[in-house]
Chain A
Amino acid sequence: MDAKSILDEIGRDHATWIVGSDLAAIDPWIEVAPDGLPEVCRVLRDWPALRMNMLHCVTGVDYFEPDEKKAAKVDWQPRVELIYHLSSLVHKHRIVLKVRLPRWKGGVEGALPEVPSVAGIWSTAAWHEREVFDLMGVRFTGHPDPRRILCPEDWQGHPLRKDYQPPSEYHGIRVK
């Protein structure tokens, strides 16, 4: 099944959750509203024609330009984008899901944006979402074990954010 048919299949009953798509991209993607993510994912996994039984990767991208001169020239809105790579071992097709989040919840700097966890749908997501939380600073609501995974538990900040400033020292160890 190609990306167009996959989009049509979800769109039949769940069109309200689909807020965008680009089927001509190198890897065709469908953008889902954050609140509709678990429902769309369940459809993708369970419907016989779709059967996306493997979640390959969950990752985040920070769209933010700290440099003011460059920021005036960019053609996108600041945001955090989550990317989910899915495929079906049954039907041998694949699709990319995207979710756009504000960089900070309610625009308050330091308040992490929230999105429902899909760890209950694919167990792979549990560790991948921990990594996105750790490095990108996104809170996954309903996650079974919302801890950092790669950085130490008392680490401050989320290193893959474009405006991240590393601390000068960590427990007396020079960092910079």
Chain B
Amino acid sequence: MTTERNEPMLVEQDVHTDELLINMGPQHPSTHGVLRLVLRTDGEVVSEVVPHIGYLHRSAEKIGENVSARQWVPYTDRLDYLAAMNMNLGWAMTVEKLLGLELPERAKAVRVIMAELGRISSHLVAAGTYGLDLGSFTPFLYAFREREKILDLFEAACGARLTCSYIVPGGVTADLPPGWLEQCEAFLDQFMPTVDDLHAVLTNNAIFIRRTAAVGVLSAETAIDYGCTGPVLRGSGVDWDLRRDGEPRYRELYAGYRFDVIAPVDGRYPNAQNYPPVPREAVVGDSWHRYYVRMIEVIQSMSLVRQAIERYRRTDGPPGTPIKVAERLPKGEAYLETEAPKGQMGFMVIGDGTKVPWRVRARSSCFSNLSVAPVLCRGGLVADVPAVIGSLDLVLGEIDR
């Protein structure tokens, strides 16, 4: 319905003109950072897309071999800088896996609160900037207004808005300050109308649907083959979320919480009656579904934050004890993936008995999600390239590391 390239009025498929190489980025607004795409086009149709990455490569893994595990936490902030809390969590839990640390319930509750707030803020940026990519300015303002409030909450808890370094191996750097939970609940109480506004201006907007439905359709098989994870995988109808299906160590963090994994199974979403309807034009695995999965996950995360606040109130004592800056790591290797907002973020740490890891590895979800972009864009229109790239919700800090 949307890429009407079979309609002769719009695109003349039979007329072949000279091939043209178009360079898009690295300073293009809809590449969300410093991604460069080289498009090979014939008229309006894209025949090949070659992504070039590495413009934001800062040798994060090499730096990890020269600082202690605790000292590397601030570097994880700068991977997915739109969800620093989730990056901190992934690294902290990987180091804890190597050390064999178990955490008190209070630390787990604080971590769930922060991880889910991070997910909400990341998905808000995704939805807002996706609107910008497609020429709609209003949702960006709605989304960023609410995100500011989440960043205020982060600032109240740890002093930083973006580069939090709050969740560290062994626990969190400080307990929540007095009044924080009430401030957080006040945010959640007033937040739902904004989600409805976003649904009104994007989800069910006729122009938005025409730009995204049936554009960049990713089949479940291709998604798995390319290692796509997170909303990109679930948007293709694969019911998979590490919060439910991950390793025991990570799954335990969410044990006892009620939440749905948002993925269209047989074309239907769980509890679909509570959410905006799926338009007829949308096909499972297209850009619209990837966007929609994120928007519904925001609602799930709100519920998770409320449940975690309840748990937090039932506990006392300190939220864990952060490891020492010069903590020695035992010999061994540990790899752990967590469900970050953009997909499964994996960290690996290899200890050699000293305080500095022998090797540090960050497996980026966006890296794999971007690698499928050439498949999605091939044969589509030039104008659909931003629609597809935006729907993957990329952050180049995480891809280039």
Query: Is A124 in the interface zone, CB < 8 Å from B?
Result: yes
Query: Is B238 in the interface zone, CB < 8 Å from A?
Result: yes
Q: Do B54 and A122 touch across chains, with their CB atoms under 8 A apart?
A: no
Contact for A124 among B53, B54, B358, B371, CB less than 8 A: B371
Complex contacts, A127 vs chain B, CB 8 Å: 367-368, 371
Closest chain B CB from A8 CB (angstroms): 22
A150 CA to B363 CA, complexed, in Å: 14
A123 CA to B57 CA, complexed, in Å: 23
Q: Do A56 and B346 touch across chains, with their CB atoms under 8 A apart?
A: yes
Which of B6-14, B311-319, B328-336 participates in binding chain A?
B328-336
Complex contacts, A85 vs chain B, CB 8 Å: 335, 346, 363
B residues 345-376 in Cβ contact with A at 8 Å: 346, 348, 350, 358-359, 361, 363, 367-368, 371-372
Query: Is A111 in the interface zone, CB < 8 Å from B?
Result: no
Q: Do B62 and A26 touch across chains, with their CB atoms under 8 A apart?
A: no
Question: In which size bucket is the chain A interface?
Answer: 20 to 34
Query: Is B260 in the interface zone, CB < 8 Å from A?
Result: no
Q: Do B54 and A149 touch across chains, with their CB atoms under 8 A apart?
A: yes
What is the predominant secondary structure among interface residues of chain B facing chain A? mixed
Complex contacts, B371 vs chain A, CB 8 Å: 123-124, 126-127
Query: Is B59 in the interface zone, CB < 8 Å from A?
Result: yes
Which of B24-32, B136-144, B222-230 participates in binding chain A?
B222-230
Query: Is B400 in the interface zone, CB < 8 Å from A?
Result: yes
Query: Is B208 in the interface zone, CB < 8 Å from A?
Result: no
A residues 104-127 in Cβ contact with B at 8 Å: 122-124, 126-127
Contact for A96 among B222, B238, B335, B361, CB less than 8 A: B335
Total inter-chain residue pairs, C-beta < 8 Å: 79
Question: In which size bucket is the chain B interface?
Answer: 35 or more
B residues 368-387 in Cβ contact with A at 8 Å: 368, 371-372
A61 and B359 contact, Cβ closer than 8 Å, known pairs A27-B334, A96-B335, A159-B59: yes
Closest chain A CB from B246 CB (angstroms): 10
Closest chain B CB from A121 CB (angstroms): 9
Complex contacts, B238 vs chain A, CB 8 Å: 89
Complex contacts, A150 vs chain B, CB 8 Å: 53-54, 57, 400-401
Query: Is A160 in the interface zone, CB < 8 Å from B?
Result: yes
A135 and B368 contact, Cβ closer than 8 Å, known pairs A27-B333, A27-B334: no
With both beta carbons as reference points, the residue of chain A lying nearest to B399 in the complex is identified as: A150
Complex contacts, B224 vs chain A, CB 8 Å: 53-54, 89
With both beta carbons as reference points, the residue of chain A lying nearest to B370 in the complex is identified as: A127
A122 CA to B223 CA, complexed, in Å: 11
